[in-house]
Every structure is written in C-alpha cells, then in structure tokens.
Amino acid sequence: MTMFSKTFLAALLAGSCVAPVAAQEQVVVLAPATQAPERIILNLTADTAHEMAVTWRTAPGLSGRVEYAVATPGPDFVKTPMALTATTEEATVATEEDPAFRAAYHSAVMKGLKPDTVYAYRVGNGTLWSEWFQFRTAAQEIKPFRFLYLGDMQNQVLSQASRTLRMGFRTAGDVAFTIHAGDLINHHNSDREWGEWFAAGGFLYAQTPQLPTPGNHEYGKDGAARAGSSVTGQWRHQFTLPENGPKGVPEARETHWYTDYQGLRLISIDSPQLDRNEAARAQTIAWLDDLLARNPNHWTVIFLHFPLFSSDPDRDNPKVRSALKPLIDKYGVDLVLQGHDHGYARGAIDAAGPVPDGQGATYVVSVAGPKMYEVAELDWARKSAARTQAYQVIDVDGADLVYTAYTANGDVLDTMKVHKP
C-alpha cells in the first residue's frame, strides 16, 4: 500500500478523505458521512461517577445503538453486554462546503454505571459496529487524578495542531478528561475542519472524555447564536454536554455548563455569549454566583475562551473580566484556563493585582495550534512564551494541585504547585 493510500484510508475511516497539496501540508476535504460509525466521542455528564455520554455520526437512514459492559481481563465481557438505543437526529447542516449536507447524529448516555470502574463499549446500528473502546467512571470520593488542557487548535488542525494533542497523550495517557478552551476550528460551519478536528484525536476522543467550551470561531462572524453557527449546528449534534447552565439563557445550552469530578468543580463559560449578549450576562453572573456559593468541592476550575488578562498587547476583554473577576476573587477560584490569544502566559492575580502563586486565582493563556500572536511584557505573568504550541497537564491530589505546561515537542515549559489544606 502506498503512503498516499494509507493516508487516504486513515482519513476515510475518520469520516473524511485526503488530498495531497504540498509535502508539509495535509488537507481534509468534505466527504459524505459513512455507513460505519465515525467521529465517536465521549463527554462527561453532570454525574461523572454513574454516567458517560457518547456521540457519533453515520450516513442518513441508520439507527443508533450502544452496547456496553464492565470490562474484564479477557473477552468474556462481550457475552452479555447491556444495550441502549441512541437518540438519532437526521439533520441537514448548512456547511461552508455544502449548504445541504446531511448526516445522522446519534447520542446516548450510559446510566447506572458503577463508580471508579472500567467499562467497554461499542456503537453502531446492530449490524455495523465500531471496535470496542474503554473508559473509566469517576470515583465518588476524593481521589487523585489528572486532566489535560489545550488552548486553540483552530488552524491546520490535522497537519500541525494534532501533534500537540497527541504529545499530550504521550505525556499523560491516563488523563481523566481533556478540556478545550474554544476555537477548536477556524470556520464555524466548515465540516472539513470539523473532520480534521476529529481525525486529529481519532480513537483518543472515544476513550477519554473531551470537554469543549466555545470560542468566537464556533459562532458566525458577528458572534451571534444563530442558525448555521456551530453551536446550533455541528456543536450540539457532535457533543453531548451537561445541560445545567443558566435557565434564562437557552442559546447557551451545552456551552455554559458544569460538572464535579473527584473533588474538583469544572465550569465552562461561554465567553462569546458573555461578551456580546448583554441580556444574558446578568443571568449568567447570577448562575455562576450561585454555583460557586454552593460548591462542595475542594478545587474549582473555570475554563473559557476570551481571557480575562491577555498575553497580546492589542487585545482585551473588559466585559468578560468585569463580569467574572469579582466572583473569582470572592469565592477563591483556583484556576482560570483560557485561549484566544495564541501565546503562552501564566500568573496569579487577586482583587488587588498580581500575587505569588497560590495567593490568588491562577490565570493561564495557551495555544495548541500553529497560529501565533505577539506576547507582550506582562506585569501579571510569572511566565510567558511567544511562538510556542503548548499543552498542559494538571494533577489534582487532595490538598495539592500541580500544573505543568509542556511545549509541543514534550519539553517542560512551565510548572507550579499549589498546596491548599
């Protein structure tokens, strides 16, 4: 088999086909959804110890089913799996490449699972099946774990951003989940780019829950939540995220959300909505205030796209900062993980200004893809770097949180430890 045909086959299995354009570049072009399950992805629900959500797509006209079982050391788990009928939505999605692109999107939530247990599962329609994948549910009690954080992949996602994601899994293949700080792709309605994003992660997305928050590129150019933007098109078809955001902001369903994981509360903030939708801002602030006030967890992490403090001298987000920072300071949020500015910066800031690590919320800006912006001299940052693709591994162990940033080639870029009895 030639190198081209191997590449073509790999991309076809991911739901896309590949056309060679230059020696150093790889471009995924639009292809119809296949009969076999593709773009399989896990997402956490609000009950991480007892549930797991899975989403995939196929060609139109096919139903969806999930089979799952507690994993065993040998193959016996396949004898008596539990079965679940998926919710199937046959949709015409207006993509950049095809205004009448059709596919069947399937989603299901496996419920009643045992905590801290490895499950095997597969998806299909009863005749055509994926391979068996495995995942582990969260423990009910506080227990050490780690997770991966990525800034914008956005550009040249398969050809260049994929190495950052994949190196992250080489460094920390046992992460409980991965968070994406928005701008997963560049053009909100490009199915070709979504195909690249899914091909970049491949089977990793099907075995480790992926938790995205939207960036401005998941919306149309005007930033509005409207028909055709990926949050009303591909986003809600391709992900099954918690629907526990502010009740008065229906346009932010599955974009504002939260979940708890082994002593950590993780909160997604839809920063484009917060920045541009004045009517929804007050309701979002009230939702977040209540969420932080009633937080039983030892650690709190907020992730969003627009950074409260920028790494770029020409970019600022005063509406987002004024809405969120008073609550971050009031309730002692530990980490604020961000994207958008295509550089690297980390520093701790309290209500009065920059402080030593651990004495205020730690703010991070990072980028996983190859698009780069200027990085300014920053009075708030203890560490910054320009023209650096990075991924971050966060270890949570009782009273200790260890944050480590790595460059895309696997070298340590930055690290800090916070001890909070």
Sign of CA dihedral 224, 227, 229, 231: positive
**pLDDT at 220 (0 to 100):** 81
CA distance 296 to 265: 8
- Calculate mean pLDDT across residues 8-33: 49
- Calculate mean pLDDT across residues 90-113: 90
Tokens of 166: 């994949």
What residue has token string 């504002």? 256
Q: Contact at 8 Å (CB) between 335 and 394?
A: yes
Dihedral in degrees, nearest 10, Cα atoms 409, 410, 413, 415: 160
**pLDDT at 224 (0 to 100):** 63
Q: List every span in the chain annotated with CATH 3.60.21.10.
A: 145-419
What residue has token string 């708030």? 380
Is the pLDDT assigned to residue 159 strictly greater than 90? yes
Compute the C-alpha angle 257/263/265, nearest 5°: 20
What are the backbone dihedrals phi and psi of residue 333, each rounded to the nearest 5 degrees, phi first? -60, 140
Is the pLDDT assigned to residue 186 strictly greater than 90? yes
96 vs 184, residue with greater confidence: 184
Q: List every span in the chain annotated with CATH 2.60.40.380.
A: 38-136
Instruction: Using pLDDT thresholds of 50, 70 and 90, give the confidence band for residue 13.
Output: very low
Count how many residues are written for the chain.
Answer: 421
**pLDDT at 20 (0 to 100):** 39
Instruction: Using pLDDT thresholds of 50, 70 and 90, give the confidence band for residue 96.
Output: confident
- Calculate mean pLDDT across residues 345-372: 97
- Calculate mean pLDDT across residues 174-183: 98
CA distance 34 to 17: 11
* pTM of the predicted structure, to 2 decimals: 0.92
Amino acid identity of 420? Answer: K
Q: Contact at 8 Å (CB) between 145 and 124?
A: no
Tokens of 305: 């796209």
**pLDDT at 316 (0 to 100):** 93
Q: Contact at 8 Å (CB) between 348 and 376?
A: no
**pLDDT at 88 (0 to 100):** 97
User: Which numeric CATH code is attached to 145-419?
Assistant: 3.60.21.10
**pLDDT at 91 (0 to 100):** 86
- Calculate mean pLDDT across residues 338-349: 98
Instruction: Using pLDDT thresholds of 50, 70 and 90, give the confidence band for residue 100.
Output: confident
Tokens of 70: 């507690």
Output the average pLDDT for the chain.
91
User: Which one of 1.10.10.10, 3.40.50.300, 3.40.630.30, 2.60.40.380 gives the CATH number of domain 38-136?
Assistant: 2.60.40.380
Strand order in the sheet with 52-58: 38-43, 52-58, 101-110, 87-93
Instruction: Using pLDDT thresholds of 50, 70 and 90, give the confidence band for residue 233.
Output: confident
Tokens of 314: 């020409």
DSSP-derived letter for residue 143 is: -
Instruction: Using pLDDT thresholds of 50, 70 and 90, give the confidence band for residue 98.
Output: confident
User: What's the 3-state SS for 366-408?
Assistant: CECCCCCCCCCCCCCCCEEECCCCEEEEEEEECCEEEEEEEEC
Is 203 in a helix, a strand, or coil? helix
Residues 134-150 have pLDDT tens digits of 999 999 999 999 999 99
